[in-house]
Amino acid sequence: MIACLRLFTALCLAALLAACASSPSSSLGELPRTPDASIEQLLEKAAQSKSPEEAALLRLSAADLAYRQGNAAQSAQILQQVPVEQLKPGQQVFASTLAAELAMTRNQPKAALTALSHPSMQRLGELPEEQQIRTGTVRARALEADGQTLAAAKERIFIAPMLKGEAASKNHEAIWTLIASLPTDQLQPNTTDDLGGWMGLALAVKTAGTLEQQQAAIDNWRAQNPKHPAAIQLPLPLTKLKELASQPLSKIALLLPQDGPLASVGKALREGFMAAHYQAQQAGQKPPAIEFYDSSRLTSLDEFYRKAQADGVQLVVGPLEKPLVKQLSTRPQLPITTLALNYSEGEQGPAQLFQFGLAAEDEAREVSRRARADGLHRAAIMVPKGEWGDRVLRAFSQDWQANGGSIVATERVDQPVQLAQQIADMFQLRQSEGRAKSLQSTVGSQVAAQPSRRQDIEFIFLAATPQQAQQIKPTLNFQYAGDVPVYATSHVFSASGDVNQYNDMNGIRFCETPWLLDANDPLRSQVTAQWPQAAGSLGRLYAMGVDAYRLAPRLGQLKALPDSRIEGQSGSLGMTQNQRVVRQLPWAEFVNGQVQRLPNTTR
């Protein structure tokens, strides 16, 4: 009887090992696969096994099963008990891949890439395709999360021929998403392999202007690359572009206030919008008809949309008024696609609503991006007291800290008379003066000591009016902090040409619309000749009007190609997932009473 039990136990163990191993290979070792036993049974058998190799294989299989069942913590705990260096190369690849997958569940791409750099990976090509796919997939995910977009795309292109069905389709779309997100200067289709083809397609789409030009570029690329995977199966976003190109805009409603407190803003937006319309006509294009509606006389949004539909309107540009935009954002859907010229407070609106404006939050995030690009890490902040200052402060802080920056001091500017004290507090100058007085008291004689400021502030983020900035920069100089770089939003720039005002702000760097920094732009020259006020601070609204016109036919394009951008007059325009148009801006600096454009940085 006892002999029978021993035989039965031996048979069970043999069955477990057979269930969790692939076909044997003397040099690479057995690979675990989904077993017919539970995690507990596998661990129990591992504890009873007298063969270290069998025990390691059972534990590796248990760790993998725990991961597949969604228990990453248990999987990691079991994997720690596996002596990886004692495994054969194939098993080491398996264990390293699992370690990388576990690192990705903790959002640690660098740890995942470290695991995947194990020497055993040199023999990955000798393993079954299933293992090559699994390793390649997690490597691609880790590279993408680590910001190595091109390397991630190459990895996915490598595993593509091994994939079938839904996995192949998902990988195909992922390749396009990665390649399409690369900046244009990184798209170098100088090879004839699949990668070169993908890059050529992305470059063709990105460098074409209108939807029609993009469609022609796609068709031309497919004709030249008929056997490329993307020609055989066009990525979904490009299929959507094809649909959009077949539905050209013929009539737009421009919904802006003609009376009331926002009338002058509405007028500047309307004139910029129509200037872009006339420019398109002069260029021989067939622009859509424009129908004007007065939002200041609006009694009901439903009534407006009924009239617009009856007038044959396909797209509404406007409204500008925040309460109206808020109303639209709370509706489940809109009867006509709408580009609102302001932002609602909520995150997500109906599918037909897009939002565009000159948000100060965009500029705060732009300051964060530029300071990072310039190699800075520790910021002090000066913003006005009040709701506007709080919004700007929040946008900067969230972006800055999310990208590894630290904030060492914050001051809210209000009364000019308090400025000197606030800046002294920010740089801890009073503490320095106190130490000097204490030393003087100790030695009993006059001590020559210049106050020293704290040294951990690398730059100041400033959101302020030109008048406030005129006071702040000289005060910084006076308080021994004149050498600290100041990065500001466009609000410091009056565009007045006042050399004396600019002299008071020497050294301040600020982001600004291309419209106000490029006086030689042909459209700007035409507009300012007719409306001189467009050369001053109102120019930002004219630029927004121009961009609203240029965005109108390309909203679907930005939605279908999330990483594409339109180089506009109010900034480089992109779109978020919740259909908000966001801006990145060029930079300038006040130098000897003049505005000097700064070179762009890599975004």
Please spell the DSSP secondary structure of 386-426, one letter per residue. SHHHHHHHHHHHHHHHHTT-EEEEEEEE--GGGHHHHHHHH
Instruction: Inform me whether the pLDDT recorded for 18 exceeds 50.
Output: no
Give the pLDDT score at 430: 52
Residue 216 resides in a domain: no
Select from 97, 124, 147 the last residue of a domain: 147
294 φ/ψ angles, rounded to the nearest 5 degrees: -100, 110
544 closest CA partner among 262, 349, 261, 266: 266
Q: Same structural domain for residues 273 and 395?
A: no
Q: Same structural domain for residues 366 and 500?
A: yes
Tens digits of residue pLDDT in 149-187? 999 999 999 999 999 999 999 999 999 989 988 877 788
Give the distance, in angstroms, between the CA of residue 408 and the centroid of all CA atoms in the same chain. 25
Residue 583 resides in a domain: no
Q: Same structural domain for residues 426 and 505?
A: yes
Length of the chain: 603
pLDDT band (50, 70, 90) for residue 514: very high
Give the pLDDT score at 348: 75
| pTM greater than 0.75 (yes/no) | no
Tens digits of residue pLDDT in 274-299? 999 999 899 888 899 999 999 999 99
The CATH number of the domain holding residue 317 is 3.40.50.2300
Q: Same structural domain for residues 328 and 368?
A: no
Q: Same structural domain for residues 380 and 269?
A: no
Residue 567 resides in a domain: no
- Residue 443's domain comprises 361-512+588-597
Two tokens, residue 328:
């639209």
* Preceding omega of 52 cis (within 30 degrees of 0): no
Select from 324, 355, 386 the last residue of a domain: 355
Give the pLDDT score at 33: 67
Give the pLDDT score at 298: 92
Q: Same structural domain for residues 127 and 23?
A: yes
Tens digits of residue pLDDT in 124-133? 999 999 999 9
Rounded distance, CA 176 to CA 171, Å?
9
Q: Same structural domain for residues 62 and 111?
A: yes
Q: Same structural domain for residues 416 and 330?
A: no
What percentage of the chain exceeds 90 in pLDDT? Answer: 65
pLDDT band (50, 70, 90) for residue 48: very high
Rounded distance, CA 18 to CA 15, Å?
5
Range in 45-54, 110-119, 245-254, 520-529 with the lowest mean pLDDT: 245-254
Q: Same structural domain for residues 49 and 141?
A: yes
Select from 355, 370, 401 the last residue of a domain: 355
Q: Same structural domain for residues 445 and 506?
A: yes
Q: Same structural domain for residues 73 and 126?
A: yes
Give the pLDDT score at 209: 66
pLDDT band (50, 70, 90) for residue 454: low
Which carries the bigger pLDDT value, residue 239 or residue 151?
151
